[in-house]
């Protein structure tokens, strides 16, 4: 193989040869000829990053940029490149050994870190005495190219593809960074419906909501199993290109069996580590951690999903300050005190989408065969996605059952919750995690109102039943509404989701059984 440089150049040629050889190394053993024609005229700016199509070309272009800048020494590049802030203070962006390694193509086929590239481009332009505005413009061009190349290494691909993608862009250089990291769990292959909610998430600023123009935090709240996580994960996968610097996912475990909610300190540590910051660079104090996190994300376009959050205090320190970042938060509670957040309260899907969800989970053929029974099952599940999934899974596990047979079993309201279980997933377990977080007095009121015959409840009815005044009843109803144990049918009127009502009745029976057992034990003691 031989490489022709045409016309002969005094600069950069050897490196370009090296790059081409690397590019062609997959062709070892074959004889081939490749010609590179370089511009014989020295343009104002020697490289148009927009045209670069590989990491190799990218690094070659950095070399040419330095030559154009008068080939400043590595020591001078360090001074011109400036510094970045870490937990341990300021660090040079262009340490000579790093710069020399990158320019020699040592990190290929990986891209250099974006921070390095930004510092490098700025240093070259400073060496040529360019104005600040020009430097900024040029840095933006290189940053965009970097993102395009990083994205073209398939950063959005889940699971198996992700590792290679990370390898393709992870750091060459001294400072670790997670730029390009994708932590998202896999998207649901059979994700169904939620068109309006996805549009809301994608639309950003909307005409009737001026505040959303600057919004970088969107909160999705709703009852257990309504589909909050599924929605944000699906949306996040579709937003990968908008947030090419990274997509992070963190569960905060507000409602996980056997796990405590994650405190903001630990959450920040996890995020910073995921971002490639070494443990010994992570400060102890919450404020300092939060500041470091914001500094890491400054001027970046990163999407962070914070799943299953308990309250606003848990989230606030994790929010980036940069307007280019988006944070999607899910919670069973309305986070009314999270400023600057747009909120969407997720309801169960409309019947048509709920049926489609069930049909896809079960297999469309089987569902089409018994479409009337499918409608019954979905209605008996209260259109709740989690219940629908469990019903479909139950049918998958019992091939001999027809959909109509399952519907028949679900009609027995005393047994319905038991029917909605598959493997180790139980609907009651998901509902219990919400119920158990209520204060005992609120649990009592909730049980009481679930025993009422009316579907629609107001504070007056509850006050009569619970023997309290109307203001107190209203307060409890609003508190239950805030944690999505109740829904609001119209101002001042509330209703309970059918499956939650069944769960509360189960709790009543348990409480009665416990009281009876206690009374019996006491009677035994008195007799004895
Ligand atoms: N739009 C949807 N399409 C398909 N399945 C969904 C959808 N929404 C939710 N599910 C399923 O319903 C179940 C509960 O959803 P999840 O997102 O975990 O609820 P939440 O986070 O609100 O508790 C999951 O098994 C999920 O796969
Ligand atoms: Mg969830």
Helix (H) or strand (E) holding 37: strand 33-37
Q: Which residue has the tokens 């750091």?
A: 171
Pairwise CA distance, residues 180 & 12, whole Å: 29
Which segments of 341-398 are extended strands (E)?
Answer: 341-345
Q: Is there an atom of ligand 1 within 6 Å of 337 CB? A: no
Number of H helices, E strands in the chain: 23, 15
Q: Which residue has the tokens 């413009």?
A: 137
Nearest to residue 373, comparing CAs of 400, 381, 418?
Answer: 381
Choose which residue among 189, 196, 230 to substitute to test ligand 1 binding: the one with the highest number of ligand atoms within 8 A of its C-beta.
230
Pairwise CA distance, residues 363 & 152, whole Å: 35
Ligand 1 atom nearest 353 alpha carbon? 1
Ligand 1 atom nearest 349 alpha carbon? 1
Which segments of 99-212 are extended strands (E)?
Answer: 181-182
What are residue 34's DSSP bridge partners? 3
Q: How far is the CA of 178 from the centre of ligand 1 (A)?
A: 29
Centre a 10 Å sphere on the Cβ of residue 150 and count the other Cβ atoms it contains.
21
Q: How many residues does the chain have?
A: 528
Nearest to residue 422, comparing CAs of 468, 389, 462?
Answer: 389
What secondary structure letter does DSSP report for 187?
A: P
> What pLDDT does residue 215 have?
53
Q: Which residue has the tokens 């500041």?
A: 291
In DSSP notation, 254-282 reads TTBTTBPPPPHHHHHHHHHHHTT--GGGS
Choose which residue among 386, 424, 500 to substitute to test ligand 1 binding: the one with the highest number of ligand atoms within 8 A of its C-beta.
386
Task: Give the tens place of pLDDT for each residue, 352-372.
Answer: 999 999 999 998 888 888 999
Q: How far is the CA of 63 from the centre of ligand 1 (A)?
A: 50
Pairwise CA distance, residues 122 & 133, whole Å: 11
Choose which residue among 225, 251, 378, 430 to substitute to test ligand 1 binding: the one with the highest number of ligand atoms within 8 A of its C-beta.
225
| Beta carbons of 446 and 483 less than 8 angstroms apart | no
> What pLDDT does residue 442 have?
93
Q: Are strands 425-426 and 33-37 parallel, antiparallel or unpaired?
A: unpaired
What are residue 217's DSSP bridge partners? 327, 341
Q: Quick one: tokens of 13? A: 């040629």
Low-confidence ranges of the chain (pLDDT < 50): 1-42, 154-176, 205-214
Task: Give the tens place of pLDDT for each residue, 51-99.
Answer: 898 888 899 999 999 999 999 999 999 999 988 766 666 778 898 988 9
Q: Is there an atom of ligand 1 within 6 Å of 356 CB? A: no
Q: How far is the CA of 384 from the centre of ligand 1 (A)?
A: 9
Q: How far is the CA of 228 from the centre of ligand 2 (A)?
A: 5
What secondary structure letter does DSSP report for 307?
A: E
Q: How far is the CA of 387 from the centre of ligand 1 (A)?
A: 9
Nearest to residue 22, comparing CAs of 45, 52, 54?
Answer: 54
What are residue 294's DSSP bridge partners? none
**What is the phi/psi pair of residue 493, to 5°?**
-120, 140
Q: How far is the CA of 499 from the centre of ligand 2 (A)?
A: 18
Choose which residue among 188, 227, 358 to substitute to test ligand 1 binding: the one with the highest number of ligand atoms within 8 A of its C-beta.
227
181 burial class (0-12, 13-18, 19+ CB within 10 angstroms)? buried
> What pLDDT does residue 153 have?
60
Closest ligand (CA of 353): 1
Pairwise CA distance, residues 166 & 143, whole Å: 17
> What pLDDT does residue 15 have?
44
Ligand 1 atom 8: the closest Cα is on which residue?
A: 227
Q: Which residues contact 343 (CB under 8 A, 6 or more apart)?
A: 218, 219, 220, 221, 334, 335
Q: Is there an atom of ligand 1 within 6 Å of 305 CB? A: no
Residues by chain with Cβ below 5 Å of ion ligand 2: 229
Q: Is there an atom of ligand 1 within 6 Å of 230 CB? A: yes
What secondary structure letter does DSSP report for 246?
A: E
Closest ligand (CA of 235): 1
Q: Is there an atom of ligand 1 within 6 Å of 359 CB? A: no
The alpha carbon of residue 448 and the mean position of all alpha carbons in its chain are separated, in whole angstroms, by 38
Pairwise CA distance, residues 401 & 393, whole Å: 12
Ligand 1 atom nearest 226 alpha carbon? 22
Pairwise CA distance, residues 518 & 109, whole Å: 72
Pairwise CA distance, residues 472 & 480, whole Å: 13
> Can you say whether the dihedral through the CA atoms of 19, 22, 23, 24 is positive or negative?
positive
Q: How far is the CA of 373 from the centre of ligand 2 (A)?
A: 28
Q: How far is the CA of 220 from the centre of ligand 2 (A)?
A: 10
End-to-end CA distance of the chain: 102
Q: Is there an atom of ligand 1 within 6 Å of 434 CB? A: no
Pairwise CA distance, residues 329 & 221, whole Å: 8
> What pLDDT does residue 23 have?
42
Centre a 10 Å sphere on the Cβ of residue 17 and count the other Cβ atoms it contains.
16
Residue 222, Ramachandran bin (φ over 0: left; ψ between -120 and 50: alpha; else beta): left
């Amino acid at each position: 193989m031989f490489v022709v440089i045409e016309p002969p150049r005094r600069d950069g040629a050897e490196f370009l040869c090296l790059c081409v050889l690397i590019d062609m190394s997959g062709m070892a053993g074959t004889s081939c000829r490749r010609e590179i024609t370089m511009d014989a005229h020295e343009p104002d700016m020697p490289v148009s990053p927009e045209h670069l199509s590989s990491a190799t070309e990218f690094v070659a272009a950095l070399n040419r940029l330095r030559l154009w800048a008068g080939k400043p020494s590595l020591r001078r590049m360090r001074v011109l490149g400036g510094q970045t802030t870490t937990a341990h203070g300021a660090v040079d962006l262009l340490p000579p050994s790093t710069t020399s390694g990158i320019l020699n193509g040592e990190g290929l086929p990986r891209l250099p870190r974006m921070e390095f590239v930004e510092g490098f481009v700025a240093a070259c332009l400073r060496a040529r005495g360019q104005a600040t505005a020009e430097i900024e413009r040029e840095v933006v061009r290189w940053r965009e190219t970097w993102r395009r190349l990083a994205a073209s290494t398939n950063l959005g691909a889940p699971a198996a593809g992700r590792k290679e993608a990370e390898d393709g862009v992870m750091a060459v250089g001294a400072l670790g960074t997670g730029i390009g990291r994708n932590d998202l769990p896999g998207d649901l292959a059979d994700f169904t419906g939620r068109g309006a909610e996805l549009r809301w998430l994608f639309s950003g600023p909307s005409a009737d909501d001026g505040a959303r123009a600057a919004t970088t935090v969107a909160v999705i709240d709703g009852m257990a199993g309504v589909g909050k996580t599924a929605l944000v994960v699906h949306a996040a996968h579709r937003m990968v290109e908008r947030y090419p610097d990274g997509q992070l996912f963190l569960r905060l475990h507000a409602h996980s069996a056997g796990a405590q909610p994650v405190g903001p300190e630990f959450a920040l540590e996890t995020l910073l580590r995921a971002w490639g910051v070494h443990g010994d660079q992570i400060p102890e104090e919450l404020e300092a951690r939060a500041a470091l996190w914001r500094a890491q994300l400054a001027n970046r376009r990163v999407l962070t999903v914070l799943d299953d959050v308990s309250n606003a205090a848990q989230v606030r320190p994790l929010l980036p300050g940069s307007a280019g970042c988006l944070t999607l938060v899910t919670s069973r509670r309305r986070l009314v005190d999270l400023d600057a957040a747009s909120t969407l309260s997720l309801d169960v899907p409309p019947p048509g989408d709920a049926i489609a969800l069930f049909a896809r989970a079960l297999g469309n053929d089987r569902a089409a065969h018994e479409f009337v029974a499918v409608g019954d099952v979905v209605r008996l599940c209260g259109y709740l996605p989690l219940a629908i999934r469990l019903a479909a899974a139950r049918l998958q596990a019992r091939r001999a059952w027809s959909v109509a047979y399952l519907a028949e079993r679900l009609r027995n309201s005393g047994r319905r919750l038991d029917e909605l279980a598959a493997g180790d997933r139980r609907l009651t377990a998901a509902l219990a995690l919400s119920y158990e977080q209520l204060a005992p007095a609120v649990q009592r009121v909730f049980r009481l109102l679930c025993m009422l015959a009316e579907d629609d409840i107001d504070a007056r009815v509850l006050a009569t039943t619970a023997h309290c005044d109307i203001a107190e009843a209203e307060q409890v109803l609003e508190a239950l509404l805030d944690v999505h144990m109740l829904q609001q049918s119209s101002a001042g009127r509330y209703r309970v989701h059918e499956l939650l009502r069944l769960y509360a009745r189960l709790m009543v029976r348990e409480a009665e059984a416990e009281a009876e057992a206690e009374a019996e034990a006491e009677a035994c003691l008195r007799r004895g």
